[in-house]
Structure 1
Amino acid sequence: MTDVLGDVKQARRPAPTLSFGDYVRIARRELRMSQGELAAALSIKTPTLSAWESGRNVPDDLPRVASDLERVTGFARQWFLGWGDVVPPATSDTEVPSIGTASSG
């Protein structure tokens, strides 16, 4: 006889957890920023940001970078670190940070 509950238990898998890079990518996309724009705002190189987002690398000083990301994006640094139930701000109310100034004429 087949153990139906055994099959159900095997089918249950924990929800996938997000990596630091996933959080960075989610925030960047929610703010409609390119990798280059976010990298410039963080004073890092675009390939560094790309490596974070892809999971190839993580910052050496993760808490400091999470604070920098909070300053630039408005998303809580705890969210970037995956701590607890901290949620990002609603994007409809989020202003895209100014990265530079444009000169006219």
Structure 2
Amino acid sequence: QSRLDRIYVTEKILETAREWKIETTGVPHADHNMVSVLVSNECTPWTGRGRWRIPDYVVKDKDLMDFAYEKGKEAQINLRDANISADERNPQKVWADYKQAI
């Protein structure tokens, strides 16, 4: 009968391994534990913290949402009047100003 109760890794893999666990398997009458580890690929590019979003508690604030809605309407009007080549009034500037306002 085979029994796995350890994990052998190279020094290089050990540097990127984390979340080592020894847990019960959940299988009735099992006479051994499950060993697991999370191994990361060090060649994977760093992706950052992900996309920012407004927290849920902020979205539930009615006054803030009304304010954001009004500022959004103003931004839409500004976008209609925006000149893509102008430094002062281009879509990117209108969007940045809107985000800064809210």
Which entry has the higher C-alpha Rg, 1 or 2? 2
TM-score, with length taken from structure 1:
0.30
Name the structure with the higher strand share: 2
Which structure has the higher relative contact order (CA within 8 Å, separation 6+)?
1
